[in-house]
Amino acid sequence: MSIVSEIERVLDNAERVNGDLNSFLSVERTSALEQAAALDTSSDATPLKGFAIGIKDNICVKGMQATCGSRILGNYKAHYDATAVERLKAAGAVIVGKTNMDEFAMGSSNESSAFGIVKNPWDTERVPGGSSGGSAAAVASGVVRAALGSETGGSVRQPASFCGIAGLKPTYGRISRYGLVAFASSLDNIGIFGQRVPDVANVLSVIAGRDPLDSTSADVEVPDYVAELTGDINGKRIGIVRDLIGEGLDADVKNSIEDAIDNLKKLGAVPVDITLPHAKYGIAVYYIIATAEASSNLARFDGVRYGFRSEEAEGLREMYMRTRDEGFGAEVKRRILLGTYVLSSGYYDAYYAKAQKVRALIKQDYIEAFKTCDAILTATSPTTAFKIGERLDDPLAMYLSDIFTVSANLAGVPAVSIPCGLASDGMPIGLQLVGNFWGEAEILRIASAYEIAFPLIGKPSVFVG
């Protein structure tokens, strides 16, 4: 079968499911078919030849829109490829579309997109998670085998958990952020969704590694992650944090995580008790550092150089202020306000400086923990996917749902979420494996062994297979 006919099938599927899910903000038929035709005539054997992939709409693809789910960038088109995208194209992957997201990646439910909410393929009355909800729904509904998302506090792992697929947040510095629109630069990562762990490993092998265009990308050797999926996890020490499998966790999630520990034992892994004494402060630290950095990064959206400009204003200052009020949605404004407040004169030491100190303690907890274990197991989210609208009026409750994911971003360590069963409401449950710095291969190996031995039984109601 030709790559063109395969990509045509993917594009048709993307358009078909979009009516139900709103997972794609754009389906890029023309460029995808051009790319596919070129691949059909090329004799080069590249690692992802003809592999269809979706890209979150805050990652730049030359000539395609990059709205970040925001009205303020509603008509913006990227002038260049993100490094991750350039590497995907060079490897023969075909970009089929830009995926929906929470505005500027701020949200845990994909309800803050300016271009409509995304629905969960398992139950269209529920959220897909966020902020990379469009990418997660596109993969879970079977349209693409993999998609890129971005992570600042769990925005790949939590939607992967809610949609029953694999989702990886790499070590900070593992994947170049060049071409990823900045939200909170010291926490942001490009992440990868896959229907299965090998899909994630395949894409990671291609896009990981030092990039001179991102000074925070690190010069660390990139293994062949697919070759690392040996299936052998005998003797692996799995760190269990007893405090995190207690109150606050839904009963079904708790049971499922306890079953997962038993399942890993059957595969030869050895659970060991560890502690992360400062993990409980993660949300507080996160919402200081992330909002502070966001208030600075998002200052560039002012109606001068690109995007939306308010027509109402007289004078420059009023133009800035109205453009930003009309162009940003409520969640983005709330976070910019919080970030501005914690950085404002007289409050810096009490909030931002304090948070950076506690962040150091959280990182130190991980360094200590990995002296006695190879990976740490937790639930990815305390609940399964919630109903659309359920948490919209209570931002703090929404933030608290990131309790298990944010600390990996604060420390900089990698983490993967894979499905580990269905709850009584029929929705997938995710287990999270957190790895040591640069230990993506280790957690992907454990995740892959788990998904082979204990595959998720069941299929989303919206699935094109």
Query: Under rule CB under 8 A, which residues in 160-199 are in contact with other proteins?
Result: 171-173, 185-187
CA distance 9 to 3: 10
Q: Is the dihedral of CA 217, 218, 219, 223 positive or negative?
A: negative
Respond yes or no: is residue 56 known to be catalytic: yes
**List 353, 389, 458, 461, residue binding other proteins (CB under 8 A):** 353
Residue 408, H or E segment:
helix 406-411
Residues 220-279 that bind other proteins (CB under 8 A): 220, 278
**List 216, 234, 372, 461, residue binding other proteins (CB under 8 A):** 216
Q: Is 313 in the site for other proteins (CB under 8 A)?
A: yes
Contact at 8 Å (CB) between 121 and 128? yes
For residue 259, which of 447, 454, 460 has the smallest C-alpha distance? 454
Q: How far is the CB of 443 from other proteins (least distance, A)?
A: 16
**List 322, 423, 459, 464, residue binding other proteins (CB under 8 A):** 322
Residues 281-310 that bind other proteins (CB under 8 A): 281, 283-285, 287-288, 295, 299, 302-309
Q: Which is nearer to other proteins, 281 or 463 (CB)?
A: 281
SS (H, E, C) 281-323: HHHHHHHHHHHHHHHHHHHHCCCCCCCCCCCCCCCHHHHHHHH
Q: How far is the CB of 314 from other proteins (least distance, A)?
A: 7
Per-residue x/- mask for other proteins, residues 31 to 60, rule CB under 8 A?
Answer: ------------------------------
**List 31, 195, 263, 340, residue binding other proteins (CB under 8 A):** 340
Q: How far is the CB of 456 from other proteins (least distance, A)?
A: 32
Strand partners, 416: 168, 433
Binding-site size for other proteins (CB under 8 A) equals 77
**List 162, 404, 438, 450, residue binding other proteins (CB under 8 A):** 438
**List 53, 60, 147, 338, residue binding other proteins (CB under 8 A):** 338
**Amino acid in the structure at residue 78:** A
Neighbour tally for 67: CB within 10 Å: 26
Per-residue x/- mask for other proteins, residues 381 to 400, rule CB under 8 A?
Answer: --------------xx--x-
CA distance 204 to 439: 13
Q: Is 219 in the site for other proteins (CB under 8 A)?
A: yes
Q: Is 215 in the site for other proteins (CB under 8 A)?
A: yes
Q: How far is the CB of 242 from other proteins (least distance, A)?
A: 21
CA distance 391 to 85: 34
Q: How far is the CB of 214 from other proteins (least distance, A)?
A: 9
Tell me the Ramachandran region of residue 248: left when phi exceeds 0, alpha when psi lies from -120 to 50, beta otherwise. left
**List 324, 415, 446, 460, residue binding other proteins (CB under 8 A):** 324
Q: How far is the CB of 300 from other proteins (least distance, A)?
A: 11
In Å, how far are 229, 439, 444 from 449, measured between CA atoms?
Answer: 8, 16, 8
Contact at 8 Å (CB) between 194 and 165? yes
**Amino acid in the structure at residue 177:** R
Choose one: 85-93, 138-146, 160-168, 332-340; the region binding other proteins (CB under 8 A): 332-340
Strands 375-379 and 237-241: parallel
CA distance 105 to 376: 26
Q: Which is nearer to other proteins, 236 or 278 (CB)?
A: 278
**Amino acid in the structure at residue 55:** I
Catalytic residue among 23, 26, 113, 155: 155
Catalytic residue among 56, 89, 98, 169: 56
Q: Which is nearer to other proteins, 54 or 439 (CB)?
A: 439
Q: Supply the DSSP string of 221-288, one letter for each residue.
A: ----TTTT--S--TT-EEEEEGGGSSTTS-HHHHHHHHHHHHHHHHTT-EEEEE--TTGGGHHHHHHH
HSE value, Cβ hemisphere, 13 Å, CA-based, for 429: 24
382: Cα separation from own chain's centroid: 17
Catalytic residue among 131, 141, 150, 217: 131
Residues 58-117 that bind other proteins (CB under 8 A): 75-77, 79
Q: Is 315 in the site for other proteins (CB under 8 A)?
A: yes
Choose one: 2-10, 130-138, 256-264, 312-320; the region binding other proteins (CB under 8 A): 312-320
Q: How far is the CB of 349 from other proteins (least distance, A)?
A: 10
**List 273, 330, 348, 453, residue binding other proteins (CB under 8 A):** 330
Q: How far is the CB of 375 from other proteins (least distance, A)?
A: 17
Residues serving a catalytic function are 56, 131, 155
